[in-house]
Amino acid sequence: MSDDPGGGNRVATPREIEARQIVIDGQLLQVAIRHNSGQQPPLLLFNGIGANWELAKPFLEALTSTTAIIFDVPGVGGSPRPLLPYRPSTLARLAAGLVAELGYAEIDVAGVSWGGGIAQQFAHQYPKLCRRLVLAATAPGATMVPASPSVLWKMVTPRRYTDKDYMNRIAADLYGGTFRSDPSLIGRHAAAMHGVRNLGYLYQLLAVAGWTSLPWLWSLPQQTLVLMGSDDPLVPPINGQILAGLIPNAELRMIDDGHLFIVTRPAETAAVIEAFLADASRRVEPSSALSRMANWVRGLVSTFGARRDAQSQQEGRK
């Protein structure tokens, strides 16, 4: 294995984040690695739609013991666009090739928003390579409980990545949480955006069109942590309940923030994830698909019942 398999530039950024280019199966990937001294496997992070790796930098820098790997999806950031569209299975295969090129036999995997779907696909496609799974602000694909039409309309184009004034206008409605109360966050987040291309963004949308993990979530063997923002307009928190209800050995944690809590609360998010990854007392306990489905249905009934009760109380006070 060569020291720089891609033959490209290597730039050491502050806080021991190393950025380099690596070629996997003929595809050039912009890769960033946050080196740390922990003993557990490294964490492979799949970013959100249209997001270059630098947008995850606050989270990477907040990790205290975990080595983290992230790469720009082809067509985004420093990774050139492929000739043809791809599917989540293609990205999972590229990621597995990258892990092998870096010399790791086992990793933990995390995915944020759109990247959460790719993380699910990776865990399903490479169960022996993926030890633990973290799903943040994400859903089971096309079968998710969707956001409101006004929110979905704002995210179907990459305009927010190319027009910073537009980002300032819509960020609070799109991401919720701290973006509603701290306008300075919008500017800092927008300043880290670069490299998104219209066709590359379209490829990402096409990749998950019609894709769903619902048929096989019950079969995932990994210990799984599901993190959801309590004020997430883009991915309603109920999607986290669906994931945690159908994945065996999964737990759901709510973060008191919006869709981008991994950026707005990087230290808190990193601490929760690292505690989960380092907890040696956790054991995989098999459960039947039927029992998981039953628990999931009970959870949904309870959730919707609580909502109806709350609405009835509000109407009664009017």
Strand, helix or coil for residue 140: coil
The token pair at 224 is 């799984």
- List the one residue out of 223, 282, 283, 219 whose CA is nearest residue 250: 223
For residue 191, CA distances in Å to 56, 112, 244 come to: 13, 20, 34
Can you tell me the distance from the alpha carbon of 203 to that of 73, in angstroms, rounded to the nearest whole number? 10
Judge whether 230 counts as a catalytic residue: no
Can you tell me the distance from the alpha carbon of 116 to that of 44, in angstroms, rounded to the nearest whole number? 12
For tokens 């043809």, what's the residue? 84
Which among 2, 89, 113, 213 is annotated as catalytic? 113
For residue 256, CA distances in Å to 146, 261, 269 come to: 20, 8, 11
CA 308 to chain centre: 31
Task: Give me Rg for the CA atoms of the chain.
Answer: 19
The DSSP letter of residue 55 is G
Can you tell me the distance from the alpha carbon of 60 to that of 201, in angstroms, rounded to the nearest whole number? 23
Q: 3-state DSSP helix/strand/coil percent for the chain, to nearest 5? A: 45, 20, 40
Residues belonging to the active site: 113
